[in-house]
Chains A and B, each alone.
Chain A
């Protein structure tokens, strides 16, 4: 366990060196948030509540969803590169698990990215909305849900990344995954805005437990929903972890390493 913590620490320090990359990405998210604040302001004119959300709640919701989704991770690109370039051979004889290595590396990246985007976005949203639309005392519980959301996102991405054993380019699958997070995941709008039938299905899909549910809890906390969301997140994390291990084991059996 200690070695994975060290991997996380080293990558954390590496990422801090390239802090400008995170800051610029956060600036881009600020532009998107600014656009959406204007769009929602126009929609809310004359209304206080839409589908149970006030304007301020919608904007804090969006800040949370954008911060989770933009935290990303280079795992799809990196595994693709490992398989195509043959670097995988060097990884296999190292004294750590390949999946564990990417988990430690990705999580440090995702946490830094999330914190920077969320912190910068908070300034914009609180200034433009004139305050906060969440309860500070719930923050420790929200941190748990967000961390689980980032872990779930990682394992879903890892399943896509490991398809590189059979596919030449997995970026196209990643692209479809991103679009699912945008729409049925609830990144662009809360699921309540979608048609009822689609919202009902999306509500139980893993994508919404990575994006929609954490953001909804953030602006509208409810203890029973909190436990239910955590339960679903843990189930989906275990499911995708098992799938990724199975894909990895099957994939690695087909690898031929010739000389060096």
Chain B
């Protein structure tokens, strides 16, 4: 019942966010279209790149397209349903957490879902279209599972980085740079990383699990890697929630008066 209520809560907030997006229809369409155009520019870039070099450590153009499908769909989905994930640091710094703490709903989920990013719709649409083109139909259920895990990892990273604001005063720029760093690593061929670098990107800063490992699993299914990815997603998200909750205990209201529009 609690799980059902949790998803219903997310869905209802999504509907409200969508209605709000429709109020700014032109802006919504322009931002989504520009994000799709942005993604298309990258497809053209990789096409030219692989036309010249054919392969980067076993990854070919089709693998990069699968990687782009995974990262754009995961980033897009997270932005559409948990749009505040990129702004957690500023929510904490600006004292906007007061509003969420005063309500009976669980505050972390509430903060994350209270915003929906317009451009994220573009990423999500692009990712889905690319997945349909480059991933066989039989692998779509596996892709959906991998996307859920990818989203969990992205949200985990975002919560940990955003929660630094509890401890540093303001971690807005650090969180943004950190998250963009994770996104960048996930947006380039993971096959380029070998040796210690690969180990670090899987074990210490598990950015490799966001898109690199999903591409490998979709290419050659490996139960071991899938289980490792599940473990990574669960541990990272659990750790992120613990850090956030510990931070909330330190949080002091700024008595800032905010108007929520």
Contacts and interface: CB of A to CB of B under 8 A. Distances in A.
B181 interface: yes
Nearest to A26: B177
A193 B48 contact: yes
B41 A28 contact: no
A183 B41 contact: yes
A194 B48 CA distance: 7
Given A38-B197, A183-B45, A193-B48, A43 B184 contact: no
A28 B181 contact: yes
A28 B34 contact: no
B244 to A, nearest CB: 22
B184 A39 contact: no
Contacts of A193: 48-49, 52
A248 B5 CA distance: 57
Interface in A1-60: 20-21, 24-25, 27-28, 31-32, 35-36, 38-39, 41-43
Interface string A186-212: 001100011100000000000000000
Interface in B161-194: 173-174, 176-177, 180-181, 184-185, 188-189, 191-194
B145 interface: no
B222 interface: no
Contacts of B30: 172
Given A39-B56, A175-B34, A179-B38, A31 B181 contact: yes
A240 interface: no
B38 A175 contact: yes
B45 A39 contact: no
Nearest to A28: B177
B7 interface: no
Given A179-B41, A182-B41, A189-B49, A20 B173 contact: yes
A21 B177 CA distance: 10
B57 interface: yes
19 contacts: A24-B174, A28-B181, A28-B184, A31-B185, A35-B184, A36-B188, A38-B193, A38-B194, A38-B197, A39-B192, A42-B192, A43-B56, A172-B34, A175-B38, A182-B45, A183-B41, A189-B49, A193-B48, A193-B49
Interface of B: 30, 34, 38, 41, 44-45, 48-49, 51-53, 56-57, 173-174, 176-177, 180-181, 184-185, 188-189, 191-194, 197
Given A35-B188, A38-B193, A195-B51, 15 more contacts: A24-B174, A25-B177, A27-B177, A28-B177, A28-B181, A31-B181, A32-B184, A39-B189, A41-B192, A42-B191, A172-B30, A183-B44, A188-B45, A189-B49, A193-B52
